[in-house]
A and B are shown apart, each in its own frame.
Chain A
Amino acid sequence: MRTELLTRKKIAHTAMAMAMVGGVLLWTGPSRAMDAADAPETVEIDSLAKLYTGVHFDHAMHTEIASCGQCHHHTTGDKVTDPNCVRCHAKSGEADTVACRDCHSRERFSKEDLSRLDNPQLYHIDKPGLKGAYHLNCVECHQKMGGPTGCQDCHGMTAAGEQMFHTGGHAPAATPTGGHSGH
């Protein structure tokens, strides 16, 4: 009887603990700030992968060489210091989300994306799309810091990519003269 009660208690405790952990994991409340401890070790950036494979991003390594705000600009980390941003966002708190895709459009230059500019009040008329946001953020810093900047240094080319770039299995046969035909 006693052992049974204990076991029951244990089960209840475990269930409660699991519920709490689950709650913490699922918690995406509006005011929660992102702590460095919450940051993932790695991030698979592959939602746009088509011509190139996704990027296996070593997030932990990058947190050691850059502050959160350097990549996540205003969404987390230190307050914004860019004079253009400070004009309006000096008192803005952290954003609810840190994912690039939540602000930067996957469907850049689609009719819906371009129709945002119909609003004459809109200040952010020049917000890059998701692909632009990734590359502008990463490549610019890699150029400054001496990180890898070649396309295939970060992501390998897919079969579709090789077809479009006429490379790999789709490479043109070597011609002795080289150069292009005609003029």
Chain B
Amino acid sequence: MKSTVSRRNFIKGGLAGTVAATVLKENTSQAASFEGYPEGMGVLVDLTRCVGCRSCEAACNQEQKLPQPAKPFNDFSVFDEIEHGQKRRTDETRYTVVNRYDVPGQDHPLFRKIQCNHCQEPACLTSCFVNAYTKTPEGAVIYNAKVCVGCRTCMIACPFYIPTFKYSSAFNPRIMKCVFCYDTRLKDGKPPACVEACPQEALTFGKRSELIKIGQQRIRETSGKYEDHIYGEHEVGGTAWMYLSSVPFDKVGFDTHVPKEPILNLVKDFLGIVPMVLTIWPALFAGFHLLATRKDWLKGKTEDDHEEE
């Protein structure tokens, strides 16, 4: 008895199906790209205005009830601190940090504030398998410590190295990161504490869509003052916190090699296959096995029939 489909053809078919599913998934994922909440708020950080007074750091510490700092917030020797060859970073005691950059050709140093950029499509959120992160319609990326299991995948996923782990409470896992003052301010329509504290209005709070217009206006109307780029308008699919600079962004510590699309896009095609692999493949290969062994089974059955006769 001749089998209608060879073993080789079965496998070919199976692989073709997988490839087809992958290609189809890619097409649909492009169309379903999330553009961000239309009313989402953000902050435009203007490096040309910042004078490095650290008022934002002090205000954040007070608002978020963070531990006492090692040095007063009006101690500017912190700008010379280098740890593991890096300038200061966010950690479990500070959600925001200002660093100084002495750029050649500039008559005064530039200062760059770092904090969570509150991505439109956050990598931390998509990487979290217990959904501890939420992107709120107001624009904040907030975190729920109650469900966090402390796996720290978000710390690896974040393209800006912002979430930090509270190692002092490892058995009660807690990620520490800027939450845009969501609970105390943003949800009531108020600007975060750092923005309110900034004397130079280096931090402009508003609807993200308006901030892009403001940024474009500043670039257009002060010819030559700014780089013709708003960092965060498109980086990693767009961030709620965006930056203007008078020097190329890589000169002031920005990662200019981050993709222009959400980190999720790099992995979602693969992640889209996972459910298919888990559901279709067991049935598919069980089918292959049954068909491949059908001959033996039939043979055994006919032998049994003969024996019975």
Contacts and interface: CB of A to CB of B under 8 A. Distances in A.
Interface string A159-183: 0000111110011100100111111
B91 A126 contact: no
B162 interface: no
Nearest to A165: B73
Contacts of A77: none
Interface in B76-94: 81, 83, 91-94
B72 A143 contact: no
Nearest to B76: A150
Interface stretch (A62-70, A95-103, A131-139): A131-139
Given A172-B70, A178-B70, A139 B221 contact: no
Nearest to B196: A109
B298 to A, nearest CB: 67
Contact of A172 (B71, B166, B195): B71
Contacts of A51: 55, 197
Nearest to B54: A165
A147 to B, nearest CB: 13
Nearest to B43: A109
How many residues of B sit at the interface, in one of the four size bands? 35 or more
A166 B206 contact: no
Contacts of A121: none
Contact of A171 (B72, B81, B217): B72
A73 to B, nearest CB: 14
Given A132-B200, A167-B72, A171-B72, A151 B206 contact: no
B244 to A, nearest CB: 11
Contacts of B218: 126
B201 A136 contact: yes
Contacts of A54: none
Contact of B70 (A117, A170, A180): A180
B221 A143 contact: no
B173 to A, nearest CB: 14
A166 B93 contact: no
B53 A183 contact: no
A117 B205 CA distance: 12
Interface stretch (B17-25, B58-66, B232-240, B299-307): B58-66
B90 to A, nearest CB: 11
A131 B93 contact: no
B255 interface: no
A151 B69 contact: no
A151 B74 contact: yes
A129 B201 contact: yes
A181 B93 contact: yes
B92 A128 contact: no
A182 B217 CA distance: 42
Nearest to B193: A164
A51 B54 CA distance: 13
Interface stretch (B119-127, B131-139, B153-161, B207-215): B207-215
Contacts of A111: 189
5 contacts: A143-B108, A152-B74, A178-B70, A180-B94, A181-B70
Interface of A: 51, 84, 108-111, 114, 117, 125-126, 128-129, 131-132, 134-136, 139, 143, 149, 151-152, 157, 163-167, 170-172, 175, 178-183
Given A109-B205, A117-B210, A134-B199, 6 more contacts: A126-B218, A128-B201, A131-B201, A139-B51, A166-B73, A181-B93
